[in-house]
Amino acid sequence: MIKIEHLKKVYPNVTPLKDVNAVINDGDVIAIIGPSGTGKSTLMRCINQLEKPTAGHVWIDDEEITDPKCDLNKIRQKMGMVFQSFNLFGHLTVIENIMLAPMDLLHKSKQEAYDKGMELLRTVGLAEKALNYPDELSGGQKQRIAIARTLAMDPEIIFFDEPTSALDPTMVGEVQAVIRDLAKTGKTLMIVTHEMGFARAISNRVFYMDEGGIYEDGTPGQIFDDPQRENTRRFVRKLKVLELNIENRDYDFLGMVSEIEQYCHKNQVNYRTAQHIQLAFEETIQNLLLPVLNAPKIHTVVEYSAADESTVMTLHYNGDPYDVTRQGDKLSLAVLNSAVSEMSWNEVEDKELRNKLEMRIKA
């Protein structure tokens, strides 16, 4: 079991971990996801003591590894780490790479280290490469060797930091397959990955990291299908967000049209959808809302999901409750129909912007 309490890591210019708390059970397979720079690597490195946390406590089983009196060498042997770059020794053969640490650190005999090494090479499908040098292998093969080398120390916990992100896409599958097999053996695994399908298939728990900590923790079903918090939702649905604020009648209409254009271009929204977004924005603002609002304040959020290419536009506006879908100008609503597949209005609890209009944009 790993227990993390109020873990904090401060670097001179940035504090990636503000307050991390978690209990990780034996056999948990945890996928760590989140935008880059949110401290995923730092968290792993603080748990396995490659980095010294600024504050907080980490226990592995009953031992507090953040206690200065703790025997770190003993603790480190319980933990293995697989990096993005494989870090194999180029001057040693594959089997020598694997035998090295067990002989040096666990004082295994050469024969023992060899037998175990060959057994591990068979499990990662590379026994025939035992006498090759790393340079003679593909990236996917090197990473499988790196995994076998980590396993040779028989760690209880294995950390993977983006194990497939340096690989050619054709080799991602073979490495993922090895990790997937490993996940079934009951070892505790923590895996930072950007491959959402893999994260989902392999883990029993997902940590979404953001804002200096574990922002949301849940089963893959919860995190990917029913995230409870805003940033998680935006991340897993690969939402590209554009916000446009209108504070008065003299807002810069052409400027906003051009912002929408750039947003669509940058996120590769297809041409027809982009046209629909423009039309929905213009028609709603110019013809449905501005004519009826006295001192207009309209906050528009466009969310395009790169995961399924769907777009939702939400407008929050002030004034008395005004359901445009029923009270709005009929001709404008008919025009909107060509760009919008669904439209719904709600009154929401907000001091100023009490009206919320949600539109699903046609693709």
Tell me how far, at minimum, the Cβ of 21 lies from ligand ADP, in Å.
17
Does residue number 11 form part of the binding site for ligand ADP (CB under 6 A)?
A: yes
Give the residue carrying structure tokens 């977004």: 277
Cβ closest to ligand ADP, residue 12 vs residue 169: 12
Q: How far is the CB of 199 from ligand ADP (least distance, A)?
A: 14
Q: Which region among 32-40, 47-55, 291-299, 329-337 touches Mg ion (by CB under 5 A)?
A: 32-40
46 touches 220 (CB < 8 A) = no
Q: Which does 116 bind (CB under 5 to 8 A by kind): ligand ADP, Mg ion, none?
A: none
CB of 190 to ligand ADP, least distance (A): 12
Query: Of ligand ADP, Mg ion, none, which one sits near residue 89, judging by CB under 5 to 8 A according to partner kind?
Result: none
* Closer to ligand ADP by Cβ: residue 6 or 354: 6
Residue type, 288: L
| Chain Cα centroid distance, residue 23 | 20
Residue ranges in 22-51 that form contacts with ligand ADP under rule CB under 6 A: 36-42
User: 41, 66, 188, 318: which one contacts Mg ion (CB under 5 A)?
Assistant: 41
- Residue 282 burial class via C-beta count within 10 angstroms: exposed 0-12, middle 13-18, buried 19 and up: middle
Strand partners for 2: 24, 60
To ligand ADP, the closest distance from the beta carbon of 33 in angstroms equals 10
By beta-carbon proximity to ligand ADP, the closer residue of 39 and 155 is 39
Distance of closest approach, residue 233 Cβ to ligand ADP, in angstroms:
19
CA 2/CA 26 separation, integer angstroms = 8
Is residue 141 involved in binding Mg ion (CB under 5 A)? no
By CB under 6 A, tell whether 16 contacts ligand ADP.
Answer: yes
Cα distance between residue 192 and residue 212, in whole Å: 16
Instruction: Report the interhelical angle of 139-151 vs 94-105 (nearest 10°).
Output: 20
Nearer to ligand ADP, 39 or 163 (CB): 39
Q: State in angstroms the smallest separation of the CB of 81 from ligand ADP.
A: 13
Q: Which residue is nearest to Mg ion (CB)?
A: 41
* Least distance between Mg ion and beta carbon 130 (Å): 31
β strands within the chain, DSSP E? 2-9, 17-24, 29-33, 55-60, 63-64, 79-82, 157-161, 188-192, 205-210, 213-218, 239-246, 298-305, 310-317, 340-347, 355-361
14 vs 348 by CB, closer to ligand ADP: 14
Tell me how many degrees the CA angle 255-259-264 measures, rounded to the nearest 5: 150
Length of the chain: 363
CB of 189 to Mg ion, least distance (A): 16
- Quick check: 154 and 189 in contact, CB under 8 A? no
Nearer to Mg ion, 27 or 212 (CB): 212
Nearer to ligand ADP among residue 166 and residue 312 (C-beta): 166
Alpha-carbon gap, residue 239 to 198, rounded angstroms: 19
SS3 73: helix
User: HSE on the CB side for 283, CA within 13 Å?
Assistant: 24
Q: Is 164 in the site for Mg ion (CB under 5 A)?
A: no
| Contacted by 11, from ligand ADP, Mg ion, none: CB < 5 to 8 Å by type | ligand ADP
Nearer to ligand ADP, 41 or 231 (CB): 41
Give the residues lining the site for Mg ion (CB under 5 A). Answer: 40-41
Give the residues lining the site for ligand ADP (CB under 6 A). Answer: 11, 14, 16, 36-42
